[in-house]
Structure 1
Amino acid sequence: MTRHAEPPASRTINERLSAVRGEQAGLRRVAFLIGQLELGGAEKQLSLLARELRLRSIEVHVLLLSKGGPHEQTLREAGIGVHHLGFGRKPSGLPALRRNLVAFARLVVLLRGLRLDVLHAFLYESYMIGAVAARLARVPIVVAGRRGLRNRPDRPGWGSTLERAVNRVTDHVIANAAAVAEDARTVEHLPAHKLSVIYNGLPETAFDPAEPENIDTPLPVILCVANLLKIKGHRFLIDAAATLARQGNPCTIILVGDGPEYAPLQTQATTLGLDVRFLGSRTDTAGLLARADIVVLPSLSEGLSNAVMEAMAAGRPTIATSVGGTPELLEDRGLLVPPADPAALAEAITHLLTHPQHATTLATAARAWARKNLDATAMTIQHINLYHQLLETRCVE
């Protein structure tokens, strides 16, 4: 059975930290491997976990396949080593192959020099590269992360064969939701004993009250925080907004994020005559959350959404599509709708706007659940305990 450690919510932070001191014996150095440090959910969680480990006197390094990003300076200020490896983003041709071979050799040498206890690779390209490099460098424990649904049972045979080979040399896989773990078992045929579920975490600041940001509109404000990608389903939110406008319930839609769908979405909103505001990438969303009447995430696929978690912590009524780990977050604490269904989304928005007491009840329950189950300290302890158990097992072997 997949391991799913429950957060020790009943224990004080001091008690938890005392427990950690006993558990981390033998755990000295951990490195995280990821492609880059842009404003994505995985990058945010990596940064949070790395800083939490560093606070517990564990030496932490972050290894970047291709480039840095907004989280890099925060990590360096926390005393965490950040290393650029120089892999190409979209390699093609002989020069790119040479560059990536040099970068791979650089990775192996770096792993040997760091004398790690654990290498934790966060996303697909990272663990496909990192597991092999770690074994060549004789890193004792290799952990891979699964942070979204693969849903690709029809992938090419060579790809599945390669992934199974990498999984065999990986000691353990951490999924950030039960749905993600089930997907890994189904699609990748990972054995249950190599899988654990550890939910994403939220820093205490996510629960702090914030001053609502000034948004000049007399209409209800619907907020969506997500990179502008097709998989995030923004077009269905805009279609839902058009339905609401036709029904005499216009809203102001605030989209926070950037990406290749910006132009198509802007054209769609203009054509429909809607008040849709594109704010670009933002790290300071607390004021927007405080101002929003409803938070919506219309994704077609998700792992465990940071945007939904942050809306829950802020105590905002939330509507999201019933995909991936989202039902684990919002079951009985928000409204779930089918993906790619603007009519259902419009109906859910209308319900919360016309039933404010129900909206408040859901938001209050969501905030309480998030505080109990999405605590950054609990998430960190679960990682430390797992790393420690894996190291103990390796020593016994």
Structure 2
Amino acid sequence: MALFRVLHALRERGLTPLVVSIMAPQGEHFPDLGIETRSLNMPRARLNAQALRRLRDIVREFQPDIVQGWMYHSNVLAHLARTFASQQAGRRVPLAIAIRSSMTLFAQEKRLTKLVIRLDAWLSRRADRVFYVSRLGERQHSAFGYAKHRAMIIPNGFNCDTFQPMPQVRDAVRAELGLAPDTPLVGLVARWQPMKNHRGFLAAVGMLAERHPQAHFLCVGRGCTAQDPAVLACTPESVRSRVHWLAERGDIPRLNAALDIAVNASLAEAFPNVVGEAMACGIPMVVTDVGDSAWILDGCGRVVPPGDDQALSEAIDAMLSLPAQARQQLGARARERIMRDFSLQAVAEQYWREWSALVAASR
């Protein structure tokens, strides 16, 4: 989504992008934004002769001026795409790769993923740029063996017209959930997976259930469904009737804007989009101190150690105990922070400048 937003923001620059996905893009609400997309249809993201031929044919037909990889597996394939493009052009086509994560949980990665990351690090010295989304990611990957002299940090950007305060949706969302207009609402937006730590979030809100009997809790993201026994097993009985599972949704800006407090409970991140998106909607946050989360938040909420359920619970409790006006002031500061430092157009222009410079230098 971050890549599509950048490309869409540059449409007026005359950019003609083609996105090649390893597997078919998933998600009912995945927008194409008018950007041509083709898939290699690689089963389980494993390279095979058919996918290799398809990649070669796509590149030779499109004849790119520059190739941009986007995350580990894509970066490795981008080197192949650059080889095909250079053969077609009769000159060295520039290549940039992008690292979108931290290495905090590298030890827990699958064996094949570890091999891909090591290969990506070795190949990075052949890339012209290595873009990182976070400062932590750059430090960790450079220490791991990625080409430090080619590193550049470009953070995620946020569309502050899409993600903005919407006072009018507060009552409407609560009505949809069958709640009273004055119900405190705390939300976590993330797909269901261990790293996103829904278990810790649910444990934390379970601890404060009695102190805030009117509060309700929202979990939004792929896999967040009460029909999953694993999901229910993680939900304390004390809040089971007050947790709303909305699965994957296409109206995240609207849901964010209806919250009183947003939470990111992740155990590891690089530059979490959910933090910037909630802040752009004017919502104060509680975040775990992972990746660049604390730097993005910049005092507009609470920061707690990752994996500390008690600290997370206490931080949410403290935020719920604030007067509504104090939370609104924190939210207003949060939006100002995002608009000033992380607007989508400013971030997209950074990519445009770097791509343009690389193309110019290659000719």
Query: Is the 1:64–1:83 Cα contact (8 Å) retained in structure 2?
Result: yes
Are 1:268 and 2:234 matched, yes or no?
Answer: yes
Query: Is the 1:153–1:187 Cα contact (8 Å) retained in structure 2?
Result: no
Are 1:112 and 2:60 matched, yes or no?
Answer: yes
Q: Secondary structure at the match of 1:308?
A: helix
The equivalent residue for 2:169 is: 211
CA distance in 2, matches of 1:160, 1:286: 33
How many residues are paired up?
342
Distance 1:220 1:158, change over 3 A: closer
Query: Is the 1:54–1:60 Cα contact (8 Å) retained in structure 2?
Result: no
Are 1:233 and 2:197 matched, yes or no?
Answer: yes
Aligned partner letter, 2:123:
V
Following superposition, the deviation at residue 175 of structure 1 comes to: 1.0
The equivalent residue for 1:103 is: 51
Following superposition, the deviation at residue 351 of structure 1 comes to: 1.1
The equivalent residue for 1:242 is: 206
CA distance in 1, matches of 2:218, 2:252: 11
Match of 1:221 among 185, 195, 211: 185
The equivalent residue for 2:158 is: 202
The equivalent residue for 1:388 is: 356
**Structure 1 unmatched ranges of 5 or more:** 1-43, 92-96
Query: Is the 1:241–1:250 Cα contact (8 Å) retained in structure 2?
Result: no
The equivalent residue for 1:28 is: none
Following superposition, the deviation at residue 245 of structure 1 comes to: 1.6
Are 1:334 and 2:301 matched, yes or no?
Answer: yes
Q: Counterparts of 1:353-364 in structure 2 under 5 Å? A: 353-356=320-323, 357-364=325-332
Following superposition, the deviation at residue 126 of structure 1 comes to: 0.5
Distance 1:82 1:304, change over 3 A: same
Moved more, 131-140 or 250-259: 131-140
CA distance in 2, matches of 1:194, 1:287: 39
Following superposition, the deviation at residue 153 of structure 1 comes to: 6.7
Aligned partner letter, 1:302:
E
Aligned partner letter, 1:64:
S
CA distance in 2, matches of 1:271, 1:72: 32
CA distance in 2, matches of 1:223, 1:340: 18
CA distance in 2, matches of 1:359, 1:336: 15
Q: Secondary structure at the match of 2:44?
A: coil
Q: Counterparts of 1:134-149 in structure 2 under 5 Å? A: 134-138=82-86, 140-149=93-102
CA distance in 1, matches of 2:233, 2:54: 45
Identity over aligned pairs, percent = 25
Moved more, 308-317 or 273-282: 273-282
Aligned partner letter, 1:82:
T
Aligned partner letter, 1:387:
W
Q: Secondary structure at the match of 1:366?
A: helix
RMSD over aligned CA atoms reads 2.5
Match of 1:369 among 332, 337, 340: 337
CA distance in 1, matches of 2:303, 2:261: 13
Q: Secondary structure at the match of 1:151?
A: coil
CA distance in 1, matches of 2:164, 2:238: 36
Aligned partner letter, 2:19:
V
Q: Secondary structure at the match of 2:157?
A: coil
Aligned partner letter, 1:175:
Y
The equivalent residue for 1:39 is: none
Distance 1:153 1:199, change over 3 A: closer
CA distance in 1, matches of 2:121, 2:212: 54
Match of 1:320 among 278, 282, 287: 287
Aligned partner letter, 2:209:
A
CA displacement 1:313-341 (0-9 Å, x = unmatched) = 11011111010121121121221111111
The equivalent residue for 2:80 is: 132
CA distance in 2, matches of 1:130, 1:231: 27
CA displacement 1:284-325 (0-9 Å, x = unmatched) = 023322321110110001121121111101101111101012
CA distance in 2, matches of 1:323, 1:57: 37
Match of 2:139 among 182, 199, 213: 182
Following superposition, the deviation at residue 270 of structure 1 comes to: 5.4
CA distance in 2, matches of 1:287, 1:184: 36
CA displacement 1:110-137 (0-9 Å, x = unmatched) = 2122111111111111111221332243
Q: Secondary structure at the match of 1:140?
A: coil
